[in-house]
A and B are shown apart, each in its own frame.
Chain A
Amino acid sequence: MGEQLLQLLFSGLTVGSIYSLMGLSIVSLFNITGILNLAQGEFVVIGALIAVSLCSIGMPMIVVFPVSILLAALLGGLIERLTINRARGASNLNMLIITIGISISLRGLALLIWGTDTYSLPAFTKGGPLFLGGAALNPQSIWIFALAVVNFAGMYLFFEHTYWGKAVKASVNNRTGARLQGINPHTISLLAFVTAGGLGAAAGVSIGPITMVTYDMGFMLGVKGFVAAAIGGLSNVSGAVIGGLFLGILEAFSSGLISSSLKDAISIIILILVLLFRPEGIIGAKRERKI
């Protein structure tokens, strides 16, 4: 029983790290631009599918990973310029609808280019699973967890210890004040989408070896990322990470101990409960700090 619980915990942490990555991207973009990007899951898929194509022409994973991130980041920037930037000044609801449109368009694009096939990606490191306490741990899970940690640390360092990070925070805090200092909010918005595209691709290429890749997997990933972000209060970076891990572990345990058909329902139930009873997020709202 102990081994089974440990196994479920490992699975939960792996899936939770994926959700944390999604949540991190959604929260960062929301904090910077005020836009709830429902297309974040599609960036993950596009990044992973680009990696599939690059791998198919024989590129090694060490090259595929950064190139996929770069291409998805460029796509993120292009989308921002073609849609979000042109709609600047629109209401939050309109922006939300635009991101839904982006999501549907990207899914359509993925379907056109890569079709309905399911693709696999090679793991970052070869070798079998590690055994800890009798439970198996896939090395790729460690990579995903490490990526989530690096992302979180990177964001913390950027926002708290770099001049540009502070300029972004200033732009979030007071747009007019920022413009008067020469900080261009449109540049900040562009950078936010470039980063969201890149982070999405990093997540996609990392999870591909475990989850496999299909053109339509982005929607549910986006929903899970949104739930992770909502658990943390939508604007709290550390809350999104904790929310993602919490959701992943809960899903793993409910699948393993009750029924796997509960997996997706759990996240929706949590979302409804959070929105109904704790819209400011489960993680202490008083400690919440915008980035």
Chain B
Amino acid sequence: MLRIKNLSVYYGYVHAIKDISLEVKEGELLVILGANGAGKSTLLGTAAGLIKPAAGEILFNNKAVTGQTSEQIVSKGISLIPEKREIFTTLTVLDNLLLGAFHRYRKNKEGLKNDIKEILGIFPALKGRERDLAGSLSGGLQQMLAIGRGLMSRPALLLLDEPSVGLAPLIVQEIMAILVNLKKTGVTIVLVEQNTKSALKVADSVLVMERGGITHRGSPLEITANSSIQEAYLGRARS
């Protein structure tokens, strides 16, 4: 579904992504692990069109989307939920959700009401809060809103950047369970996480990044069996 070939991204003179190639299969839940500064968020931002790559190619459903703007990319079926959530704090929850469908609004105005119902079904905690300003929600609800808004675009590929940041463990569990359910509905998911244990429980495959490059790729079992990864990301000492 998503193929990245020899991607390089620079921030000025800093080589943030170094010649990365990877593939995400349809229906897969890929977890990307890595320390701060490994290039995980940059990779997602580039795939979503927020950052222009210096070199390489990004193919989505075998069509090149390299260098396209995020406005163009979301209409092709890729939705990014960024780490900072980027919700519209001065608008209501309902308006946030409605705007998530911006690129398809003209084609299906009436269908949006049903889509909102569907999203509120996925995130029942948002029910009854539709008229509240998004900025007044708790961190957990804001995260649910951010994911719900992303789903309103009806993406085939959902890119999630550290959805567990700053959230209570129970909320993290809830969000992970929702991601598993979403995967069952056919949505392909790429999840960047520092909450390694939670992420490994839901992952189909795992990719580890370090200093702008990919160091490991494998199944959750293979990754957890790797002693160096265990030491670096799972907090277990090398035996």
A166, B103: Cβ atoms closer than 8 Å = no
Chain A 167-179 per-residue mask, 1 if CB under 8 angstroms from chain B, else 0: 1011001101111
A136 located at the interface, meaning its Cβ lies under 8 Å from any Cβ of chain B in the complex: no
Tell me the interface secondary structure of chain A in the complex: helix
Interface segment out of the listed B15-23, B66-74, B114-122: B66-74
Question: Are B102 and A182 closer than 8 Å at their CB atoms?
Answer: yes
Q: Mark A258-291, 1 if CB is under 8 A from B, else 0.
A: 0000000000000000000000000000000010
**Contacts A163-B105, A166-B99, A167-B99 given: A173-B74 contact, CB under 8 Å?**
no
Shortest distance from the beta carbon of B74 to any chain A beta carbon, whole Å: 4
**CB interface residues, B 29-51, toward A, < 8 Å:** 48, 50
Number of chain A interface residues as a range? 10 to 19
A183 within 8 A of partner (CB): yes
Interface residues of B in 73-96 (CB under 8 A from A): 74-75, 79-80, 82, 85-91, 95-96
| B98 CB–A CB distance under 8 Å | yes
- Write the chain A residue with the least CB distance to B79: A180
Q: What number of B residues sit within 8 Å (CB to CB) of A? A: 28
| A181 in the interface (beta carbon within 8 A) | yes
Q: How far does the alpha carbon of A178 sit from the alpha carbon of B99 in the complex, in Å?
A: 8
* CB-defined contacts of A169 to chain B, threshold 8 Å: 88, 90-91
Cβ-based interface call for B53 (8 A): no
* Candidate in B79, B88, B95 with the most chain A CB atoms within 10 angstroms: B88
B88:A177 contact, CB within 8 angstroms? yes
**A85 contacts partner chain B, Cβ-Cβ < 8 Å:** no
Contact assessment for B98 and A180 in the assembled complex, using a CB-CB cutoff below 8 Å: no
Chain B residues 106-141 with CB under 8 Å of chain A are none
A180 touches B74 (CB 8 A): yes
User: In the bound complex, how far is the Cα of B102 from the Cα of A169, in angstroms?
Assistant: 13
> In the complex, what residues of A have CB within 8 A of residue B91's CB?
166, 169-170, 173
For residue B214, give the distance in angstroms from its CB to the closest CB of chain A. 25
A184 at the interface (CB under 8 A from B): yes
Partner of B102, one of A174, A176, A181: A181
Residues in chain A near residue B74, CB distance under 8 A: 180-182
From B70, B100, B105, contact of A179 by CB (8 A): B70
Q: Is the CB of B103 within 8 A of A182?
A: yes
B153 within 8 A of A: yes
How far apart are the CA atoms of A187 and B102 in the complex, in Å? Answer: 14
**Nearest-CB residue, chain A, relative to B100:** A181
The docked-state distance in angstroms from the alpha carbon of A35 to that of B158 is 34
Neighbour of B99 across the interface among A176, A181, A184, A290, CB < 8 A? A181
Considering only CB atoms, which chain B residue lies closest to A179 in the complex?
A: B70
Q: Which residues of A contact B85 (CB under 8 A)?
A: 177
Q: Which residues of chain A have C-beta atoms less than 8 A from B82's C-beta?
A: 176-177, 180
In the complex, are the beta carbons of B98 and A166 less than 8 A apart? yes
| B residues in contact with A166, CB < 8 Å | 91, 95, 98-99
Query: Whole-angstrom distance between the alpha carbons of A174 and B90 in the complex?
Result: 9
Q: Using Cβ atoms and an 8 Å threshold, which residues of chain B touch A181?
A: 74, 99-100, 102-103, 149, 153
Within the assembled complex, what's the spacing in Å between the Cα atoms of A173 and B88? 6
Mask, A37-54, CB within 8 Å of B = 1, is 000000000000000000
Give a binary string over A137-177; 1 marks a CB under 8 Å from any B CB, 0 the rest: 00000000000000000000000000100110110011011
- Contact among A167, A174, A179, A184 for B89, CB-based, below 8 A: A174
- In the assembled complex, the CB of B22 is this many whole angstroms from the nearest CB of chain A, namely 22
A179-B50 contact, Cβ under 8 Å, with A166-B98, A166-B99? yes
Instruction: Check if A183 sits within 8 Å of B102, measured CB to CB.
Output: yes
Rounded to whole Å, the gap between the CB of B87 and the closest CB of chain A is 6
Task: Decide: B50 and A180 in contact? CB cutoff 8 A.
Answer: yes
Whole-angstrom distance between the Cβ of B79 and the nearest chain A Cβ = 7
Bound: A173/B90 CA distance, A: 7
Instruction: Out of A176, A184, A290, name the residue touching B50 (CB < 8 Å).
Output: A176
From A174, A179, A182, contact of B88 by CB (8 A): A174
Q: Do A184 and B71 contact each other (CB < 8 Å), given the known contacts A163-B105, A166-B95?
A: yes
Assembly CA distance A87 to B213 (angstroms):
34
> In the complex, which residues of chain B have a beta carbon less than 8 angstroms from the beta carbon of A176?
50, 82, 86
How far apart are the CA atoms of A176 and B44 in the complex, in Å?
A: 14
Q: What's the least CB distance linking B5 to chain A, in Å?
A: 24
Known contacts A177-B87, A178-B99; 13 further A-B pairs (Cβ under 8 A): A163-B98, A163-B105, A170-B91, A170-B96, A174-B87, A177-B88, A179-B71, A180-B82, A181-B102, A181-B149, A182-B70, A182-B153, A183-B99
5 smallest beta-carbon distances between A and B, as pairs = A177-B86, A182-B103, A182-B74, A170-B88, A182-B102
Listed by A's residue number, 6 A-B pairs whose Cβ atoms lie within 8 Å are A170-B99, A177-B86, A179-B71, A182-B75, A182-B153, A184-B69
